[in-house]
Structure 1
Amino acid sequence: MSRRGVAIALACAALAAAGSWLWLDLMERVWRPAQRIHPESVSNPMLAASRLLERHGRKVLAYKQLGDVDLRAIPDGMLVLADNTGQMNDAQAAQLLAWVARGNTLLAQPHWSGLPGLRGLPVPVGEPPQRATGGRNPLRQLAEPDPIGAHLGVSLSYRSKLRAGCETDAMPPLPPEEEDQEEDQDEDGDAPAAIPVDSQGPRQLTCVTLPGGAYPLTLETGGEVLTSGPKARQALWSDVDGMAVRVHAEGKGHLVLLSDNYFNNYRLGRRDHAELLLGLAALNPRAPRVLIVRDLSAVPWYAALWRAAHLFLGALAVLLSLAWWRAARRHGPLLPEPATERRALLEHIEASGNWLWRARGGREVLLAAARQETLALLRRRAPELERLGDAEKAARLARLCGLEEIALREALFGPAAAQAAAFTRQIQTLQHIRKRYERH
């Protein structure tokens, strides 16, 4: 083959290779993994925990706020307060403690007892206080009551030094992309568009052994720790240093205090957090129900008032509406000044009738005048009726005029009616008789 033929063959091969590469790169469909967040997981940080508990035979009820739960009728089982933002009043705490004392389990996080940098707790170098506290506002939490933490004498604080746990070495730092995703997480713990990764500065591992467990469970911890007050109660069991998990006895039940929420969508799959959740749910094996409450925020006062007395408030609103309607009928624009010219004769007659109606004996005067005029007309037009008695005269007139005998007897011989409607019927009956005989 000549050199020219070889060059043409090589050019054709290169062209075919380039065409094949372009086809495979641009035209062929291939499957590529894409990691996305389910919208339900974004709106519900405890979705993974709910699915895990349901898969292990638990019946899960989820609520957004503690005020949405009827604390007087909580089913037996376990109640998880997923976040300690908001507040719990003393009445709610008393109902929850009574419920726990019957043999149930309550998981909660105490509120903060101090700010980073105060009370001898230095802030780590390069660590902003807002991030060191896990995105929550310590100033707000200092102002919020914590009846459960006060009941046990335990609060939440921050320690910059690593604690003695399963491993004394801190975990390696997060990759840069995960670090960026973590900073995008908002203050309420909801997920942003990217997958967030929880971190609270230096992290380490701690261990906790469940009662009857064959091996210790490993947990990831950060700078938030449980701190005992002067009158703190002794825990039944806890992690190795008592700063991450404490389980206290309350009557026949258990109060579990956690330094952080290990069971949200972003931390449940790490280490042994899922197994810890199942172990705590098994503390009350006879009750399979689990209630998960996202926030402590109490309902507004008007919502609580409506829930407690909606029947009374509804009746009060109806009464006030009727009273306003009755009063509104007596008010309105000012009437124009009456004309000064002389009024018509009918107005004088109407005014006289109204005055007689209200005066004592006035109705008898009005009825007697109409009755006298009617009887005078009957004497002129039907003199034969004068020889009849009252009963026979009433029966004859009722038959001739097409009226009821009782109504005609009341109009001719009865007393004046006290009710306006009955009195009007008497006058109308007498007027009907006059019209009947005036036409003849």
Structure 2
Amino acid sequence: MGWPLARSSGERRMKPAVRRGLVAAAVLLVATLCTWLWFEIMEEVWEPQHRQSVNLAGKPMLAAAQLLERRGYKTDVYKLLGDANLDALPDGTLILADNNGRMSDAQAQQLLAWVRRGNTLVAQPRWSGDGSDDEERPQPGPKRKFRLKRLDEEDPLGAHAGVTMTFAHDMRDSCDTGIAPPRKRKTAPAEAKDDADDDREYEGEYQFTCVTVPGGRYPLVLETSDEILSSLNGAKQPQWSDPDAVALRVYAEGQGKLVMVSENFFNNGRLPRYDHAELLLALAALQGNAKHAVIVQDVNATPWYLALWRSGSMALSALAVLLVLLLSRAMRRFGPLLPEPAGARRALLEHIEASGNWLWKAPGGRALLLAAARQETLSLLARRAPELRQLDGNALCARLARLHRLDETALQEALHGEASPQPSIFTRQIRLLQQVRKSYEHSERQ
């Protein structure tokens, strides 16, 4: 009969208050988890979702076109500059949305001639910032499609006006006209989301500038980035511009106006901001009663083969000449195609060809081949023309050359000369011996 074990001194009973506290904490944790699961899974919550209209797909300048149409302008929209007939452009305004100066010299001359007749051309120059600015430029965001550091294509319009695109070190925080103070720039975060309606190059603060259009009652506020207009050597003086001449410059060109902008202020994402829409209407109204607008919305990219020729025409020309020389040299080694040998004889022919190639390259091989052909020919002559055995070498060659109408010197070399290392001469030696042998073999068969 056992006695109950005594409780050791190390074991202690948990106090009721502590036990109740742990149970309450566990119940509270479970209740919190259940509540979170309910609102996360069971509860329906309305969340806003950004969706692009079907009408905006592939139409970055749709808002600008509709605004101009509502103001009484007849608007034509082209995807590329090459799609428009530059010789028959209607009088009015032409907007090159995101071309960045990429066009041919001929296209530029056509456009400038059209502007001189009293029309307005709105364009952007190409980017040509120097290498020292690259490290300080903001990292490109997801929408930086056509902002390139340097383009291989020429910029005829930018060169004509003496303007290009570069990077701004000092940014203007407001629309004042004072000295622009330096300001810190923000770079795009790595997790930045792509906004189809937002064409800003990077997330962060933007600078502002004011443009007072001639005849306007108040300055127009424009939102610009850190890419600005910069003058080249021999640049033209604009008629009017923003205070710093970094966002917009208007040049007189004949009876018309050439407008250079640092950015496309008129796409779907940027047209509603600040006074961009008013600037569009003001530029369209520069030439008075011309109520026609043409919009080119995409880059007129140079074909790859033309860009390759521009960048390396000398190297490509040298390569083409080299290929022609190599081809002409190789073509002399080719002749008419021989008929395919029969399958039963193919192995023998391959063996003969391999043996001939080896003897041709081996020391003394050519002499061995020529000696075998001579021995076969002389043996046949001894059987079919024994009267020739009485003749010496020179007389024999003269007699055979006269009988078979062969060249005596070549026959002398074939019968008594050394095997030539030149393939053409060696082949002639073998061929002459074979001709002599064939004539006597034919008579022997008869």
TM-score bracket, shorter-length normalisation: 0.5 to 0.7
From 262, 271, 275, the equivalent of 2:274 is: 271
Deviation of 1:35 after TM superposition, in Å, equals 4.6
Deviation of the 1:174 alpha carbon: 11
Q: Give me the TM-score of the superposition, normalised by structure 2.
A: 0.52
Secondary structure at the aligned position of 1:295 is classed as coil
The 8 Å contact of residues 153 and 302 in structure 2, kept in 1 or not, is answered as: no
Task: Judge conservation of contact 1:113–1:156 (CA < 8 Å) in 2.
Answer: yes
Q: Secondary structure at the match of 1:275?
A: helix
Q: Which residue does 1:391 correspond to in 2? A: none
The equivalent of 1:257 in structure 2 is 260
Q: 1:32 to 1:131 in 2, by over 3 A?
A: closer
Q: For 1:314-353, what aligned pairs fall within 5 Å after superposition? A: none
1:297 Cα offset (Å): 1.3
Query: In structure 1, which of residues 103, 110, 114 is the aligned counterpart of residue 118 of structure 2?
Result: 103
Equivalent in the alignment of 1:408: none
Q: What is the CA–CA distance in structure 1 between the aligned matches of 2:234 and 2:160, rounded to whole Å?
A: 9
- Matches of 1:197 and 1:301 in 2, distance apart? 27
Q: How many residues align?
A: 263
* 5+ long unaligned stretches in structure 1: 1-21, 186-190, 303-440
Match of 1:124 among 132, 136, 154: 136
Q: Distance in 2 between matches of 1:46 and 1:175?
A: 25
Q: TM-score, normalised by structure 1?
A: 0.53
What amino acid sits opposite 1:283 in the alignment?
L
Partner of 2:200: 198
**How far apart are residue 286 of structure 1 and its match?**
1.5
Q: Which has the higher contact order (CA 8 A, sep 6+)?
A: 1
Counterpart selection for 2:57 from 38, 42, 56: 42
Q: Which of 82, 89, 113 in structure 2 is aligned with 1:74?
A: 89
| CA displacement at 1:161 relative to structure 2 | 2.5
Distance in 1 of aligned mates of 2:273 and 2:215: 22
Q: Is the 8 A contact 1:85 1:297 kept in 2?
A: no
Of the three residues 266, 277, 283, the one matched with 2:286 is 283
Which residue does 2:192 correspond to in 1? 180
Q: Deviations over 1:402-427 (max 9, x none)?
A: xxxxxxxxxxxxxxxxxxxxxxxxxx
Other structure's SS at 2:112 match: helix
The answer to whether the 8 A contact 1:164-1:241 is kept is no
- Separation in 2, partners of 1:133, 1:149: 24
CA separation of 1:171/1:265 partners in 2, compared to 1, >3 Å: closer, same or farther?
A: farther
Match in the other structure for 1:94: 109
- What is the SS of the residue equivalent to 2:297? strand
User: Where in structure 2 are the equivalents of 1:25-424 lying within 5 Å?
Assistant: 35-85=50-100, 87-115=102-130, 117-118=131-132, 121=133, 123-124=135-136, 127-128=138-139, 130-131=140-141, 134-136=144-146, 138-139=148-149, 141-163=150-172, 166-167=175-176, 180-181=192-193, 184=194, 191=196, 195-196=197-198, 198-200=200-202, 202-297=205-300
Opposite residue 138 of structure 1, the aligned amino acid is L
Deviation at 1:113, TM superposition (A): 1.8
CA distance 1:87–1:76, shift in 2 (3 Å): same
2:100–2:125 CA contact under 8 A, matched in 1? no
Shift of 1:277: 0.4
Whole-Å separation in 2 of the counterparts to 1:131 and 1:37: 19
- Which 10-residue stretch deviates more, 242-251 or 77-86? 77-86
- Once residues 58 and 148 of structure 1 are traced to their aligned partners in structure 2, the CA distance between those partners, rounded to angstroms, is 26
- SS of 2:98's equivalent? coil
Which 5+ residue runs of structure 2 have no aligned equivalent?
1-38, 306-446
The residue type equivalent to 1:145 in the other structure is E
Question: What is the Cα deviation at residue 84 of structure 1?
Answer: 2.2
Cα displacement string for residues 384-405 of structure 1 (whole angstroms, at most 9, x for unaligned residues):
xxxxxxxxxxxxxxxxxxxxxx
- CA root-mean-square deviation: 3.6
What is the CA deviation profile of residues 215-235 of structure 1, one whole-angstrom value per residue up to 9, with x for unaligned ones?
Answer: 100000111000001100000
Q: CA deviation at 1:203?
A: 1.2
Provide the rounded CA distance (Å) in 2 between the counterparts of 1:132 and 1:156.
20
Question: Deviation per CA, 1:148-171, whole angstroms, max 9, x where unpaired?
Answer: 000000000111331476155879
Q: Does structure 1 retain, via aligned residues, the 8 Å contact 2:100–2:124? A: no
Distance between the aligned counterparts of 2:48 and 2:148, measured in 1? Answer: 41
State the distance in 2 between where 1:237 and 1:196 align.
29
Shift of 1:37: 1.4
CA deviation digits over 1:218-258, x for unaligned, max 9?
A: 00011100000110000000001000000000000000000
Residues 342-375 of structure 1: CA deviation (Å, up to 9, x unaligned): xxxxxxxxxxxxxxxxxxxxxxxxxxxxxxxxxx
SS in 1 for 2:274: coil
CA separation in 1, counterparts of 2:47 and 2:142?
Answer: 37
Distance in 1 (alpha carbons) for counterparts of 2:116 and 2:154:
22
CA distance in 2, matches of 1:263, 1:291: 13
Q: State the shift of 1:285 in Å.
A: 2.2
Q: Give 2:164's aligned amino acid.
A: S
Give the SS at the match of 2:295: strand
Measured in 2, the distance between the counterparts of 1:146 and 1:133 equals: 23
> Is 1:165–1:240's contact at 8 Å kept on the other side of the alignment?
no
- What's the counterpart of residue 331 of structure 1? none
Paired with 1:231 and 1:143, the residues of 2 have a C-alpha distance of: 22
